[in-house]
Structures are given as C-alpha cells and as structure tokens.
Structure 1
C-alpha cells in the first residue's frame, strides 16, 4: 500500500526535475547558446582541427605516418555526414535535449576507449564512432538548429555564436591535449577529457530546450504584440516558417548554388588547415609553437564569426560571404612566399582568423531561406556534402604534400577553390529571397 504513494512521489520528482529550467532576467536563447558551448567543448576533442594540431603526437607514439591520421579524420568526418539526414529529421521532430545528452555521454565513454587503443583498427573504430556522434549532435547541426529556433532577427549572430563555441572549444582542446601529452601522454589527455565529458552532460540535459515556446517565450524574446506586428509587416514570414518538403527544397537553384559553394569552400579550407602544423614543423618550428599558432588563429577566427553574423543580420549574407572568401585568397597564396620560421606564425594566425567563418556561411544562407520549420531537415540534407568536403580536405592535402614533396599545390588549389566559391555565391538569385 505504501508503494503507490512512493511511486507517485518519485514520478512527480522526476517530472519536476525534467521540467525545471532557470529563469534568467534575459532572453532564454542566450542561455541555451551558452550551454551549447559545453557540448561544443566535449565534441571538440575529436574535431578535425584538434586532430590536425595533435596528429604528430599520436603518429610518433603509434609509429604511424601523417597520412594514417589524415585517413582517420576523413573517415570520421564522412561517417558523421552520413548520419546528418537522420539527425536533422529527428531534431526537427523530437528536439535537441535528449539527443545532446546521449551524445555527450557516448562521446565521454568513446574518448576513454580511444585512449586505450593499441592498433590501427582500434583507433580508427573509436575515433570514427566518436566523431560521427560528436560532430552533428554537439558541434554543428543541432546547435545551429537551436540558434534558428530561438532567434529570428538575430539569427545569423546566434549562428555565429555557435561557431565561436566550436572554434573556442577547439582552441582550448588543442592546448589541453598538447600540454597533457607533453607532461604525460596523448592517451592520458583523451582519458581525462572523456572522464570530464560525462558530468558535463548534466547542464545540457537540465537547460537545453527545443524552442523558446517551451519556456513560455517567443523568438528573440519578443512580446506577443511585437511578434504579431512582425508577422503582419512581413507577408513572407508565414511561408518561411512552414515546413518545406524535401522535394521542394531540392528544386530551388539557389539551394544547389549554396550546396556546391559550401562543398568547395570547406574542402579548400580543411585541406589547408590540416597541413598548417606540419607545414610549420617541417620548416623548423617546434610542435608547441606550431600548435600555438593554429590555436591563436582559430580563437581569433571564432571571435570574428559572431561579428560577421551581426553584419549579415543588418546587410545581406550574400555580400558578407563573398567578402570573407575574397579576403582569404591573398594569405592563402602568401604561404608559398614565406618561410615558416620568418613569417609562418603570423601568417597562420591571420589565415585561420579570416577563414574561421567559412564553414558556417552556407548554414547562415540556408537559415535565412528556410528558418525554423525545416532548418534541421535542410541542414541534414546538406550535411553529407559538407562533411564529405571536410573529410576530403585532410586526405587530399596529405597525399598531395607527400606525392609532390611540397605544400604549394595545396595553397594554389585552395585559392582557385575560393575563386569558384565567389562565382557560385554571386549566382544565388535574390529576387524572391532575402539573400
């Protein structure tokens, strides 16, 4: 007889915990973006940029070459992309809360397993599984979906903040892994990060929500009156908030221009960024200094992404995207004209700071077109292409550098790719779109 009241009390307690959320004096969306940074930190330990920064530490311990590490990065990124269409549909339907919680715990366990790997197949298996879980759930697709769901007028600024979360987390992880690897080993570094990830999943579960309506608010923190005025002043709003059928999404020419431009831009950027530390180390710079250059540039790049997002909310994403890519061409070509020990450090910092926004430009454009109703779905559709590009870059760059015995072909290819991206972005039609 006493079990029923205890069961009811337990159920009520669990419901209370599940429904609880803080009530900050500001818009809840800003809090969710802050909590998403925790997920980005957990995921960053296996990100492509971090692996690029610490690849020599692992390769030397395992007696592998750089092409082996690059292949692991490629396969992990590609498998991650294959999961995105499913994750995109799931987050639109069920929301991000449970998905991010599960991903954070699985990544933590996976990092511990990764630290124990002794063979190539064990390392590849652990890295690929962890990478495929971490990327879409904690770094890009779901955090960007949260930004689109919570923000309208400040949407690109919010997506810029999710990119800052990712990039800052990568910068911190590079330094943590480098420091722990120098003091102990890369295995100890990943084991510690794995053990840290599990308790960090708790704030994600408690505070992440699907949309502002879940906490009694509206996008951007607008009042009901402001929301009604915005809807009546923008006749296109209702069409942009609806759920787009996949067939209609892929029928838009602008969708394909954006998709192709993003593929080329991400391929070019990932190809260069994965070779920056080897480029500096082969030129005589220490591993610590080379990783420091990548970290500093990555962090500065992350800090500029919210600024670019703020500008695109006030001007047009198309113009800003073209400006960013155009600015990246000159430092890419300058890599062929400097020696790593002379100007290599500041050039790596400059290039990485400029290209920090490249990976999010396509998502900003798509978010402007498709908005809350279908952003997870459309990002899921583009996810395989984006992650295929991220995976292609490291392996292609490593093979070219090994085959040619020079990094110059990588820099030339990237510069040509950026020119093509500018042409594609310029071709996006704007007559019926806010782009």
Structure 2
C-alpha cells in the first residue's frame, strides 16, 4: 500500500483529495521540497543557477565510409563505461556541428524516451563526440555547485521532479523549460560539501577509467591493426565447398573475419577456451520485485553502463538455482543475444561493486581459468579482431544468438602482464567512481528526507 502525509494547504492548493494524485512520485517529491522550503531550506530553480539549453532539431546527414565526419553518440550511449560511436555525421552536409559537441563540465540530461530522466557529466572523453537535441545541456560555472546539482538530479527526489513535467502521448518528453523550472533545495553547507566531494571524486574516477582504457585499446590496435576490406561487401565473396562447415550464412565466411583470424594465428594468438570457460544460462521466468525484496539483474545493454539505466530487481524464486545467474568479480561478460551489428559482443569486466549481482540469460559469462588475469581476458576479447569473430558466430532468423562453445573456439591475442594490470586498474577506477557517485546520491537523498 502506498501512503503519503500531506499538508492541509496542499489540499487547498491542488483542490483535490484523491490518494492516487498525492502518492504519485512527482507530486510526493514536490510536497517534500515544499516542506523543506517551509522549514527554511534555501531553494533555487535549475534555470537560476545554470544555463539550460538544447540545440535545435536537425536532419542528420550521416557520413559515407570514405567521407570526412565526426563521431556521433545516441543519447543512451553516454552512460556506457567507454562509449563507442557506431555512426558519423558528415562535416560537409551538416551545418554548425560544433554546437552539438558538449564542452567538458556540461551536465547532460536525457529528455526523450521510455527511460527519460537519467543524467550524466561530460568529461574530456565524451566531449570529443557530437550529441543530438535529445540531450539537454546544463552549464554551471561554479564547479562545486555543478557537482551538487548533478547529485540532486540523480536522486529519487530530483528524478521524480523531472519526470513530473513530462509530456507526450506516445513518447515521453521533457522541454528545456521543464528542466529549468525544477526546484533545487540547497541544503546546509556541511552536507552540501560532503555530497560535492563524493560526486567530484566519483566523476573524476570514471574519467580516469575512460582515459586509461581508451589509451590501452588504442595501443592494442596500433600493435594489431584491424584488417581492411579489399572490396565492398555488396560485391559478395566466394567460398569453396570444402570450407563450408555446417553453416550457410554469408557473414560466418566474411573474408574480413577470416583475415582477422589469420592475423591472430600469425601473431601467436590462442583459443579463447584456453583463457576462460564460457557459460550461457537457460531462460527463466521473471518475477520482478521492489529493490528491498530482490537482487539487481543486468541486461546485455546495462552491463556496459557504469550506472545502469532503468535497473530492475528480481526475486530468487525466478530461478531453479540462482547461483547459475550470478556474476562475480573478475568475469568478462557480454550481450550474446541481439543484433550483431549493434552492441552484441561488446565486453565488460565485472568489478567488485557488482559481485553477486544477477545477469539475464542473454549475457555470456567467461570465467578466467586458473592463472589467467581478469584484465588479460577482458583485453583479449576487447580486441576488434575478437569482436569480429564473435559477431560472425551469430545465428537466428530474427534475433541473433550464439553458443558458448563457439565463443571458446575463437582466436584471441595474447596479452602482456603490464597491459593486463593497466586494464584492471582502469576497471577499478570505474568501480570506485560508481560507488562514490551512488554514495553522493544516497547521502543527499537522506538529507532531503530527514
């Protein structure tokens, strides 16, 4: 049962008394903020302390393969550990692309879609990409106030206030005015300082992790450049009858994938199965519950996000043996079900903050064999040659799937000890950052409700 305590003046202000209205998250959050204001807490609207704006809508002209362009991220790409652009915008056929690149320090607020509400921070890595009008920009000059505002917008109270203004008959939307009008309680200085310090250190840790991983992957690609196509895919390719190994799909025999495999073989590549044991659990009947009654369960897309968007909790009664669906620190995981041209096969390393969480049956688990460093396994599978082979394994008439034993059969590069150590340090930075950001949000929410 949902209950809420309201003031008599709120009943008069809204001219209604139905419980459904006053127990809705947005109205309850507004009532909570109003009580804080009545108690003497200083209030400010987002638009009073920040510049809130969004670029105008535009018709995207994507760059052709050989055309000069700039990398473009979709709104939810920005929440990933290491966002990777799948598309580029043409520099020649789009005007004023600079306005689409957020400057470092800008807060990015999602304003359209089913999971509307999450926000994030623009670090140096994110600032190299272009983003669409579906991300509202929030610019705050004062660094401490910027971090405090970011923490507030991430709290359940801030999220409820944001969503209170959403509109749209089919797709939810927020406007610049909706975001600018959100009331922000400026709590006591000592509480604000604690929140600011935690958020600043968390944001910096995530930025450090991104910088380390991007440099590490760039070095790996420089040492092992990806094979290029000698002819466009539309011209097709020929396969000898003797080389057809139980499959008739063209992608499995892609010459570019074969070249990547030969490249790894020539550079002393090894079987993935020599590094790890792959496992993909069976489907299960999902019983979703509230946070206090279950365990977090990650989808293939969420495991790539340092702050999972729309995270859900599931009851252990969903499984015959819950342990089969647990992920543990040191595992390498990736989405094994989904479009092979999308994020299928993009790997993440399970960090300490997610040890014991659950993951769906769509997530491939790879547990390092004894003596294999987790960082070495992750980096070996993060190589683009490994990803190409993984995607080529996909089968299915509608939804792409793959088998764990096939994943164990691919060739992967051997990783030096120093590179494995650096990969692990980068993922620890992500873990530390996520923990500190979550703590900043928890501390602020507890102050708001005290």
Is TM > 0.5 for Structure 1 vs Structure 2?
Answer: no
Per the normalisation by structure 1, the TM-score is 0.29
Larger Rg belongs to: 2
Quick check: which one's strand share is greater? 2
Per the normalisation by structure 2, the TM-score is 0.28
Higher relative contact order (CA 8 A, sep 6+): 1
